[in-house]
Amino acid sequence: MSKGVHYSAEKILHCNERFFVPPEREGNSMLEGQVRIPSGCAIAAVISKEGRRMTGEMIIDAMRPMRDRSNGLGGGFAGYGIYPEYRDFYALHMFFDSRATRKDCEAFLKERFEIVKSEIIPTRKVPAITDEPIIWRYFVDPLKSVLASMQLDEKEFVARTVMKINDEMKGAYVFSSGKNMGTFKAVGFPEDVGVFYRLDEYEGYSWTAHGRYPTNTPGWWGGAHPFSLLDWSVVHNGEISSYDANRRFIEMYGYKCTMKTDTEVITYIMDYLIRVQGLTLDEAAKVVAAPFWSTIEGETDAEYKNKCVYLRTFFSSLLVTGPFSIVLGYNGGLMALNDRLKLRSMVVGEKDDRVFIASEEASIRAMQPDAENVWAPAGGEAVIVKAKEGAY
């Protein structure tokens, strides 16, 4: 639109979680640029490379300056290193719609796992968080006899169990399933969600966070970010146009995209590429945000060029197109990645042994006012930060 077009403040319409502003009236109008239409969603993350644990207060604070990037339809966090006393067990975080569903699901779990601990996830009352489901967690160990009979390793077995529950058990949803980590999410603004889940009482060496501004799916507890499978968790700002192609490919390998959302499919893509196919983080990034063919053609390093050609050709259906910035959390590190054209903002900063990632520098300054080396990664450039081996 040309500069100077007037928007009626009374005619700002909310349509499918998007704002459409018709330039219809001159009275009580607002000029272009005076209406805040953020580029959707807020992401933030922090990690200590020395494995030093920090409470969830810092990551909650990171979300406060970015409140206008959310609309209250979803917020969430993932913390790593938060369950040291149960580090050897898978922590299943679950939503249930009723006690009967929980009992049925628990009976199913007992057929497959030793349940070491079962409890409600502690929360505190927050006026802004309402209509919560039953929120439960189980610390479990796969039964060796079942693993032997199914001829599966632990991680594949847990992943298949998660898919089965989420796809077949109505009223039950596993939203976190890793070791020594946990995802916490709800309908609400992220700073309220963090208080609701009492994240100030948890300590972890790495945290990620998300404030949701949904565009294609409704706001509900299961649809909030992060999306998790095993120890992978993904927070995402953007909207991928390749969802259907990505989903069709990944579902051929046993994944069930029950949420019908792009962030879920990105999580499963990362699990497939890294855990199943054995790619490195950097190689997975070159699949998801593959270099342009023109860039590959101009590459002078023959070995690197051949690798890029192979990854882009062999995993062509897992190229993610459209605007996105994501942070992938995993046991021992974080990876931040933009789409190739950098259509969504992402900033990185450092201070001492900590690395900060966020949609906006204001978020980094909320976590660390004197952060240093603040910079914006290039499109398609993977920023990989790892905690020192053994520190976590």
- The catalytic residues are 41
d(CA 282, CA 273): 11
Q: How far is CA 20 from CA 32, 37, 42, 344, in A?
A: 13, 10, 20, 20
> Three-class SS string for 324-382?
EEEEEEECCEEEEEECCCCCCCCEEEEECCEEEEECCHHHHHHHCCCCEEEECCCCCCC
Q: 56: exposed, middle or buried (C-beta count within 10 Å: 0-12, 13-18, 19+)? A: buried
217 phi and psi angles, rounded to 5 deg: -130, 155
DSSP state, residue 276: I
189 phi and psi angles, rounded to 5 deg: -75, 145
Beta bridge partners of 235: 327
d(CA 201, CA 183): 15
Question: CB 125: neighbour CB atoms within 10 A?
Answer: 8
d(CA 51, CA 243): 35
